[in-house]
């Protein structure tokens, strides 16, 4: 069994500080079973958002990066554009699952979320909305249950089960 995944959590906001970053605190709490490399707050600036991912991947310092904020459709919501452009592989099921769970809590407004996930090299990257409830929901219900397995898969340390082929 591999060691716990190393995680960087990131709040994207022009206004939040360490004192009032409820969604960042929610990520840290919900992902406590993993190794927190660091938590950072970055402004809604695509170059700064992208550099968090690029720098962490280049340094090999994290197995996963979890963002909160910038996934909506407001003019300043640029996390999706900045990070999804880096994805080697997109994990469509993550956004679909997040919106499905979110629908139960907030109804049709869930479809306005651009929650997403993908891989950048051997790092799994997740994008969650900036509200505390959304960060907690995504981290607890979706990320925490699969993170170890996702990291093992992206590193080639495990195989898919039940996907054997039959030879005729």
| Secondary structure string (H, E, C) spanning 24-48 | HHHHHHHCCCCEEEEEEEECCCHHH
Q: How confident is the model at residue 109 (pLDDT cuts 50, 70, 90)?
A: very high
CA dihedral 5, 130, 126, 133 (to 10 degrees): 70
Q: Global pTM?
A: 0.93
> Does pLDDT of 167 surpass 60?
no
Q: How confident is the model at residue 158 (pLDDT cuts 50, 70, 90)?
A: confident
- Residue 130 is predicted with a pLDDT of 96
39-50 pLDDT per residue, tens: 999 999 999 999
Q: How many CA atoms lie within 13 A of 135 on its CB side?
A: 23
Q: How confident is the model at residue 161 (pLDDT cuts 50, 70, 90)?
A: low
> Does pLDDT of 136 surpass 60?
yes
> Does pLDDT of 162 surpass 60?
no
For residues 66-92, give the mean pLDDT: 97
5-40 pLDDT per residue, tens: 999 999 999 999 999 999 999 999 999 999 999 999
CB 12 within 8 A of CB 23: no
The two structure tokens encoding residue 60 = 């090999």
CA distance 130 to 24: 9
- Residue 160 is predicted with a pLDDT of 61
Measured in degrees and rounded to the nearest 5, phi and psi for residue 21 equal -85, 75
């Amino acid at each position: 069994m591999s060691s716990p995944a190393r995680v960087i959590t990131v709040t994207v906001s022009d206004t939040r500080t360490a004192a009032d970053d409820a969604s960042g605190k929610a990520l840290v709490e919900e992902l406590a079973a993993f190794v927190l490399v660091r938590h950072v707050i970055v402004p809604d600036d695509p170059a700064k958002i992208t550099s968090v991912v690029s720098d962490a991947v280049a340094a090999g310092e994290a197995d996963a990066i979890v963002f909160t904020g910038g996934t909506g459709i407001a003019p300043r919501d640029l996390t999706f554009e900045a990070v999804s452009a880096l994805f080697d592989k997109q994990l469509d099921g993550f956004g679909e699952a997040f919106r499905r769970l979110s629908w139960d809590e907030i109804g049709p407004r869930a479809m306005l979320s651009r929650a997403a996930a993908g891989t950048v090299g051997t790092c799994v990257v997740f994008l969650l909305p900036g509200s505390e409830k959304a960060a907690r929901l995504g981290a607890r219900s979706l990320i925490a249950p699969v993170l170890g397995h996702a990291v093992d898969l992206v590193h080639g340390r495990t195989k898919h089960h039940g996907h054997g082929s039959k030879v005729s």
